[in-house]
Amino acid sequence: MAAIITEKFRQSNADSFNADVSSSKYYMFVGKSQPWTSEGASTDSQPPTPVDSVAPESYYWDDMLAAKLISSKSYVIPRRDFSTSSAFDMYRHDVGAVSTGNYGNTKTTSSSGANNLFDSTFYFKTSDHKVYKVLYNGDQLQTGASNISGSEPTSTGNAPFWQDNNYYIKFMYTMTTTEVQNYLTTDFMTVKVNANADANRGVYVFMVTSGGSSYPNGTFYTKLRGDGTGGIAKLVIAGGVIAEFGNNSLSTTSFMQANGTGYSFANFSLAGTNIYTDASASTLISGATLTSWNGATAGTVKAIVDPPSGHGTDDIAELGGHYIMLQSKFEPADADVVQVNDFRRVGIVKNPKDPTTNSVASLSTARTTNAIIMAAGGSGSFQVDELITQATTGANGRVIEWDATNRILYYVQEKYTSYGLDTSGNLTAFSGANAVTGSSSSAVHTPSTSTSGTTNGVVFASGYAVPELSRDTGEVIYIENRRAISRASDQTEDIKVVVEF
């Protein structure tokens, strides 16, 4: 029960987060144009591991280049592809649970040995992006499942069906072209609710964990016991042994005669008083007063209970949608995103504020660098990433972009010596009509303090523009440091972040 409660808790938190993404404002941002050696790394190819601390958050704002409102999100699950060279697990409600009584005091594992249902491989995706759940995989006595066989399934009906004589599967949903483009990666794939339930929490599958011995041969029936109604199993006896669960089109296999409804727990008793000779389970076997069938050694049959409301009712919960994928595309059309510099950091910030309103920002894209508009004249062109210094104030920074046409200098100031701190170790802001000089280019330009208003989409006040998201506001909830990713004017960065619950 504890494992089930834990999974419900995870799903509840994933649901809450998904709803919060819709009601709050989450921005994906990119940053860090300077090499990691600026932060003390030995080489730029070895990004530092982010630390779980409040202290670094202001540093993330210092080197932030641009942010984009996250409007694309989806529940996702680990990707599993159909392959005839693979043996898949089957759905079992009891994986991870400790069994008692007839089944021993042991922890139940999947066919592959997983201790948690959602770590097992009980579903797969076909090449045309249809997703199926495996209800049974032929692993009757947990001796190992065989590989799935045959061509990829194509059925989209509600009822489970046999892929081969070992695999009993059910169609869950089909991914759309948009979902494939946005959320299918090498590791994850989208999951969504597709209303195609086939029953109201009955039992489709049972496992003959012990076939018993000395039973009379023939076909018999037994009622499913538990808190539901109507479940009946067909038991085929051959050679005195209960035949394994299998394809009901075969005369040699046992199967569920009726799935029943409303079961949250279920079990079978193979005492003679529970064995019937007819499919409606109304005529008791001869010798019903015996505790077993005519002196047979009783076998054991394990019922696999459907998820709440039946298979296919809630694909997200049933397949383990404890992950949310957040996706943003930084595209050439995004004017606020620099296209002439690289970045090394990806992050997510929740509910940052707009400096013009002091309310939660709602911009679709946001420039997060500082900017200066320069007066006419001056000399030279600033170079990307070079150190810039300002006369009189002593302010230091690093160039993100120089827009020579509009005379706009975009820059950041990091809290490191020669990257933003002045010679006294202070982070001094650029201000006034003091000349700004590039250390590598020797370019010299003077801020146009008489200019206020909008130029090329940037709002200036006395020659200076602040970032479009207020620094150190909101909550940075995710950081990933990477090797340098170069940008180009015709390039799109499709960034996907998966949050696990």
Q: Which residues are CB-contacts of 246 (< 8 A; sequence separation ≥ 6)? A: 138, 165, 252, 253, 254, 255
Residue-level pLDDT at 288: 60
How high is the mean pLDDT of the chain?
90
Cα separation, 17 vs 321, in Å, equals 12
- The secondary structure of 94-133 as a DSSP string is TTTPBP-GGG-S-B---TT--SSGGGS--EEE-TT-EEEE
Residues 63-69 have a mean pLDDT of: 95
Residue-level pLDDT at 469: 97
Among 245, 244, 238, residue whose Cα is nearest residue 215: 238
Residues facing residue 300 across a β-bridge:
210
Residues 59-76 have a mean pLDDT of: 94
Length of the chain in terms of residues written: 501
Q: Determine the Cα angle at 17 with ends 15 and 23, to 5°.
A: 105
Residues facing residue 221 across a β-bridge:
234, 276
Cα separation, 378 vs 203, in Å, equals 80
Among 221, 493, 461, residue whose Cα is nearest residue 345: 493
Among 8, 18, 189, 65, residue whose Cα is nearest residue 493: 65
Residue-level pLDDT at 210: 87
Residue-level pLDDT at 289: 62
Residues 39-60 have a mean pLDDT of: 87
Taking CA atoms, 290 is separated from 284, 326, 477, in Å, by 12, 62, 65
Residue-level pLDDT at 104: 43
Exposed/middle/buried for residue 333 (C-beta within 10 Å: 0-12, 13-18, 19+):
exposed
Among 302, 262, 261, 258, residue whose Cα is nearest residue 280: 258
Among 376, 397, 377, residue whose Cα is nearest residue 451: 376
| pLDDT greater than 80 at residue 195 | yes
pLDDT tens-place string over residues 77-120: 999 999 999 999 999 998 887 655 444 445 688 999 899 899 99
Cα separation, 122 vs 132, in Å, equals 9
The region of weakest confidence among 280-284, 365-369, 382-386, 398-402 is 280-284
Residue-level pLDDT at 17: 85
> How distant is the alpha carbon of residue 462 from its chain centre?
46
Among 157, 136, 39, 35, residue whose Cα is nearest residue 89: 136
Residue 34 contacts residue 398 (beta carbons within 8 Å): yes
Residue type, 434: N
pTM of the model: 0.86
Please give the residue that has the higher pLDDT: either 490 or 171. Answer: 171
Q: How many CA atoms lie within 13 A of 468 on its CB side?
A: 22
| pLDDT greater than 70 at residue 266 | yes
Residue 445 contacts residue 409 (beta carbons within 8 Å): yes
Residue type, 379: S
Cα separation, 64 vs 365, in Å, equals 13
The region of weakest confidence among 138-142, 280-284, 461-465 is 138-142
HEC profile of 304-360: EECCCCCCCCCHHHHCCCCEEEEEEEECCCCCCCCCCCCEEEEEEEECCECCCCCCE
> The dihedral of CA 296, 298, 299, 301: what is its sign?
positive
Residues 237-255 have a mean pLDDT of: 93
Among 199, 206, 251, 212, residue whose Cα is nearest residue 224: 206
pLDDT tens-place string over residues 352-377: 999 999 999 999 999 999 999 999 99
Please give the residue that has the higher pLDDT: either 325 or 38. Answer: 325
Residue-level pLDDT at 336: 86
State the DSSP H helix or E strand holding residue 402, giving kind and residue range, or none if neither.
strand 396-403
Residues 367-393 have a mean pLDDT of: 97
Q: Determine the Cα angle at 191 with ends 186 and 197, to 5°.
A: 140
Percentage of the chain modeled with pLDDT above 70? 94
State the DSSP H helix or E strand holding residue 437, giving kind and residue range, or none if neither.
strand 436-438
pLDDT band at 269 (very low <50, low <70, confident <90, very high): confident
DSSP code of residue 388? E
Q: Which residue has the tokens 């046999």?
A: 162
pLDDT band at 296 (very low <50, low <70, confident <90, very high): confident
Cα separation, 222 vs 242, in Å, equals 12
Exposed/middle/buried for residue 328 (C-beta within 10 Å: 0-12, 13-18, 19+):
buried
Residues 193-203 have a mean pLDDT of: 84
Exposed/middle/buried for residue 40 (C-beta within 10 Å: 0-12, 13-18, 19+):
exposed
Residues 294-301 have a mean pLDDT of: 82
Among 486, 478, 500, residue whose Cα is nearest residue 330: 486
3-state secondary structure of 73: strand
Residues 383-388 have a mean pLDDT of: 97
Residues 331-338 have a mean pLDDT of: 86
pLDDT band at 291 (very low <50, low <70, confident <90, very high): low
Residue-level pLDDT at 372: 98
Instruction: Please report, in angstroms and rounded to a whole number, the separation of the first and last CA atoms in the chain.
Output: 19
| pLDDT greater than 80 at residue 327 | yes
